Structure 1
């Protein structure tokens, strides 16, 4: 039995779909009530105990309001008590690096170290920027308003969330990837302007961008460090891990846009 945390999220929802298609037994966990999901909260130990009953493997995704390892660590404690064998954790590219004297993704590293120390079999997935990150700006795009650009002119290895999910499923359903950390990237390096241009071409409309660094003052310092690192070119590298694991190339940003163009369409 595999427990999928964050089962309604960007990656978790695709993991649920893929496991369903493969007929693999799993349990989807959500913080809010969802049909067919077990309801549990990282801040409620009793709910985690119920969610983990009879579970062998966990896909661990946490998105706390402010960067902290607390939710990951709560799951690790509960999983150890429940006799879980393996954890596949969704981490982030660059975690463990230092930029400007500050640690990048320190909360992810703390969780990764706790998972290792607890004696689980493990795989750490560290993807780059998701192709889907433009979806929250749909209203601005439809209105012809500029989308805030936090990345500057930096190039990033934008990755299709479906590829991240497929790699996660490979790690969850076999042992070949135990003990591995994978930096996951798409097949090309793109600036934010490149992404806007591709999106605009596919949609047949102009997608404008504007400097969005004024938003940084509203974000936690830990997040700003990661953004500054990316703006300085920290994420401008490609890996072949998706191809190695899945036996096919990683999907392009343009293909993701074409497959999701209706998500950017005008509401009837």
Structure 2
């Protein structure tokens, strides 16, 4: 039995789909679980986590708290150890633990990774680059004829398709050869946000423009939108790190695990974005 946390999210739902297609027994954990094979649980409810991990062999650990914190990872790990879970596949992020000025990139992921590695369970770390699916948030902006805010300037990133992240996760969950490995997951090309916009423009046949949003401006806008200060700090730090060129990284890890090249950003866009006479839309 495999437990998938974050089962309704950008990566988790693809993990669930692939496990189902492969005939692997799984539970899809969510606060509002859909359909058969799902389990209702909340990271802030230890009793629900204990129920979720009962009889489980491996866990796909994906947490996305509103305020960056390792607390949800630690709560799940405690329940997993108590239940005798054998292995953990942790979704982290590229650049975790790197120093950038006076701050540490992905400090909450770093703390969670440390806890996973010392948990006594077999583990695999997945550190994906910027998600192609982040462009989902552009649809309404494009439809309104507005430029897409660009927090990372000309910084280029190895934009990765979440379907590839999920496919690597399933391999790690089902094959012990990946235990003790840390995979940095990227797409096949380095792209800045303006370059992504130009590719998307070609896919949808409609102008897609961008506007640079420096860190100070991004901080003001995100705080004004009501995001918690800690979440704003994490977002702006990560964006500034990429803006400075530190995420201009390509690896062969996706191809090494899956035996095929990773998908391109254009592949993702062609599969997910649709345009009709009503404007921009998204097919998920």
Aligned runs of 1:68-147 on 2, under 5 Å? 68-147=69-148
Distance 2:86 2:128 in 1: 24
Where 1:167 maps in the other structure, the secondary structure is: helix
* Matched residue, 1:257: 269
User: How big is each residue's C-alpha offset from its partner over 1:46-93, in whole Å with a ceiling of 9 and x where there is no partner?
Assistant: 000111110010000000001100000000111101110100000000
Distance 1:67 1:184 in 2: 21
Q: Which moved more, 1:223-232 or 1:162-171?
A: 223-232
Where 1:262 maps in the other structure, the secondary structure is: strand
Task: State whether structure 2 residue 190 is matched by structure 1 residue 189.
Answer: yes
Distance 2:80 2:33 in 1: 22
Task: State whether structure 2 residue 154 is matched by structure 1 residue 153.
Answer: yes
- The answer to whether the 8 Å contact 1:141/1:207 transfers is yes
Q: Which moved more, 1:211-220 or 1:138-147?
A: 211-220
Distance 2:186 2:125 in 1: 14
Distance 1:16 1:148 in 2: 32
Structure 1 counterpart of 2:240, from 221, 225, 228: 228
* Matched residue, 2:9: 9
Normalising to structure 2: TM-score of the pair? 0.91
Distance 2:83 2:183 in 1: 27
- The answer to whether the 8 Å contact 1:67/1:223 transfers is no
Where 2:68 maps in the other structure, the secondary structure is: coil
Distance 2:48 2:187 in 1: 36
Task: State whether structure 2 residue 218 is matched by structure 1 residue 215.
Answer: yes
Normalising to structure 1: TM-score of the pair? 0.96
User: How big is each residue's C-alpha offset from its partner over 1:85-132, in whole Å with a ceiling of 9 and x where there is no partner?
Assistant: 100000000001100021111111111111111111000000000111
Where 2:32 maps in the other structure, the secondary structure is: coil
Task: State whether structure 2 residue 50 is matched by structure 1 residue 49.
Answer: yes
- The answer to whether the 8 Å contact 2:140/2:280 transfers is no
Please list every run of 5 or more consecutive structure 1 residues that lacks an aligned counterpart in the other structure: none
User: How big is each residue's C-alpha offset from its partner over 1:10-50, in whole Å with a ceiling of 9 and x where there is no partner?
Assistant: 00000000011100000000012422221100000000011
Distance 1:263 1:160 in 2: 20
User: How big is each residue's C-alpha offset from its partner over 1:200-239, in whole Å with a ceiling of 9 and x where there is no partner?
Assistant: 1110000111123322232532332222111101110100
Q: CA deviation at 1:263?
A: 7.7
Where 2:93 maps in the other structure, the secondary structure is: coil
- The answer to whether the 8 Å contact 1:151/1:231 transfers is yes
Distance 2:127 2:280 in 1: 34
Task: State whether structure 2 residue 258 is matched by structure 1 residue 246.
Answer: yes
Q: Which runs of 4+ in 1 moved over 6 A?
A: none
RMSD of Structure 2 on Structure 1 (CA): 1.3
Distance 1:33 1:76 in 2: 21
Distance 2:271 2:21 in 1: 19
Where 2:127 maps in the other structure, the secondary structure is: strand
Where 1:48 maps in the other structure, the secondary structure is: helix
